[in-house]
């Protein structure tokens, strides 16, 4: 197919000194964090596969037990009096949760972890709050889309939302809080919307990054809205976002451009004839940004901006989108639109280098991307190379299933009013 598309146990707590530097084992917090880092680096990519050149099967059960032992210590450290110890534990959990699928392990510990995360969010410093917020998101990803994941979200949402809308809270903590209601998110980024006279407001340093994060999270939630809500969003936000393309902050401009493209895609999913009422002026703005040669801007910023806005412009004008293939194992997903890109980018931001592992094994991600249950391949299959014909047939089937799912979603949007 063409590469563009048209149309759219807890264990016993160890005793620590007042500074929480060492426990009974004599292992420092930094040493533990480094050990966890080394462990994940060596096992996350090799788990359940055959190592190249050796033909030896990795003992997945042993690796999992080692991982869980280290995580138990990290969970205990979340209750330490030392902020340094708690932060190191949060960072290790961040790494662990993003690198492996740990549903069974977390299921019986989710309430303890949630209580500890809530305590860090309420009483921790800015860096501890920000890391705890990220771990909250990872915990929900690990628990999945069932009852347990919903329970975890409901427990953590109030404190996360209060941080988001508290202008006195630290900027890093507010920026890392991605699990919000759409109204709270709007209340944040509208601080960059044009004033009554049409001019853009002056904002303090650090605020544009917060507004960008809030806008991107808001756009993600917009993909779940019914058609009636999408129409309201388009009418209210499109003109204001258009004006925000004049912002002096390059990363905020880019977030705005990508959101405009996503909203247009949502509009076209509801009505194939949708067109922004001031489309000509919008395209002129996008063309200027796509060809911006302002020497006062950093060279990398200019290059990044031009690339993004060329994509946005092509989509607005011609409904063209350059498809991206994400390969993991013998499978792949295709990023074939702005909606799907925002969803993938959201997971990539929180899972980082572990995103492909989760695409292979995490039921939540596999459900969201229409991949079905995780594949179970025996050693002989894993050791063999997949022929080009087999890969072509697999990808063709995946494309047909993806197209069918996309049409079903479009029909549902049109029916919900």
Give the CB-side neighbour count of residue 205, counting CA atoms within 13 A. Answer: 0
Name the pLDDT band for 173 (thresholds 50, 70, 90): confident
- Residue 31: predicted pLDDT: 53
The residue ranges of every structural domain in the chain are 176-320, 323-379
| Cβ-count burial 190-202 (b if 16+ within 10 Å, e if not) | eebbbeeeeebee
pLDDT tens-digit series, residues 405-417: 555 555 554 444 4
The whole model's pTM is what?
0.73
* CA 328/CA 138 separation, integer angstroms: 20
191-220 per-position pLDDT tens digit: 999 999 999 999 898 899 999 999 999 999
28 beta partners: 22
DSSP 73-93: HHHHHTT-S-HHHHHHHHHHH
pLDDT at 130 over 60: yes
**How far is it, in rounded angstroms, from Cα 321 to Cα 265?**
11
339-351 as b/e: b if 16+ CB within 10 A: bbbbbbebbbbbb
pLDDT tens digit string along 243-279? 999 999 999 999 999 999 999 999 999 998 999 999 9
Q: Which residue has the tokens 């109204």?
A: 183
- 100: alpha, beta or left, given left = phi > 0 and alpha = psi -120 to 50? beta
Backbone angles phi, psi at 234, to 5 degrees: -60, -45
- Among residues 46, 104, 95, which one has the least CA distance to residue 70? 95
Instruction: Give the DSSP per-residue string, 156-174.
Output: HHHHHHHHHH-TTS-HHHH
Which tops the pLDDT comparison, 160 or 301?
A: 160
């Amino acid at each position: 197919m063409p590469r563009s598309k048209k149309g759219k146990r807890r264990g016993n707590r160890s005793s620590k000194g007042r500074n929480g530097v060492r426990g009974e084992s004599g292992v420092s917090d930094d040493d533990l964090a480094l050990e966890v880092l080394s462990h994940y680096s060596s096992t996350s990519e090799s788990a359940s596969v055959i190592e190249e050149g050796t033909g030896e099967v990795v003992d997945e059960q042993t690796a999992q037990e080692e991982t869980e032992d280290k995580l138990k210590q990290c969970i205990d450290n979340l209750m330490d009096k030392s902020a340094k110890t708690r932060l190191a534990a949060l960072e290790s959990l961040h790494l662990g949760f993003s690198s492996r699928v740990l549903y069974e392990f977390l299921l019986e510990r989710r309430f303890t972890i949630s209580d500890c995360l809530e305590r860090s969010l309420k009483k921790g410093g800015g860096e501890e709050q920000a890391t705890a917020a990220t771990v909250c998101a990872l915990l929900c990803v690990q628990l999945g889309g069932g009852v347990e994941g919903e329970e975890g979200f409901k427990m953590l949402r109030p404190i996360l939302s209060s941080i988001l809308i508290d202008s006195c809270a630290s900027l890093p903590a507010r920026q890392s809080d991605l699990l919000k209601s759409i109204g709270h998110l709007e209340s944040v980024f509208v601080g960059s919307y044009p004033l009554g006279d049409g001019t853009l407001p002056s904002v303090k340093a650090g605020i544009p990054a917060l507004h960008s994060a809030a806008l991107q999270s808001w756009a993600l939630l917009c993909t779940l809205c019914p058609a009636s809500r999408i129409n309201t969003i388009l009418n209210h936000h499109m003109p204001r976002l258009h004006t925000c393309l004049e912002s002096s902050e390059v990363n905020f401009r880019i977030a705005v451009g990508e959101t405009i493209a996503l909203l247009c895609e949502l509009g076209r999913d509801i009505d194939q004839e949708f067109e922004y009422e001031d489309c000509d002026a919008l395209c002129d703005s996008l063309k200027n940004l796509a060809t911006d040669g302002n020497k006062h801007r950093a060279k990398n910023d200019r290059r990044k901006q031009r690339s993004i806005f060329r994509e946005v412009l092509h989509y607005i004008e011609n409904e063209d989108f350059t498809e991206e293939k994400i390969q993991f194992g013998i499978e792949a997903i295709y990023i074939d639109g702005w909606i799907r890109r925002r969803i993938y980018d959201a997971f990539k931001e929180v899972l980082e280098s572990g995103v492909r592992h989760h695409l292979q094994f995490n039921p939540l991600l596999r459900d969201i991307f229409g991949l079905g249950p995780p594949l179970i391949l025996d050693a002989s299959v894993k050791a063999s190379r997949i022929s080009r014909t087999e890969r072509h047939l697999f990808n063709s089937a995946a494309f047909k299933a993806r197209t069918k799912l996309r049409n079903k979603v479009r029909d549902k949007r049109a029916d919900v009013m």
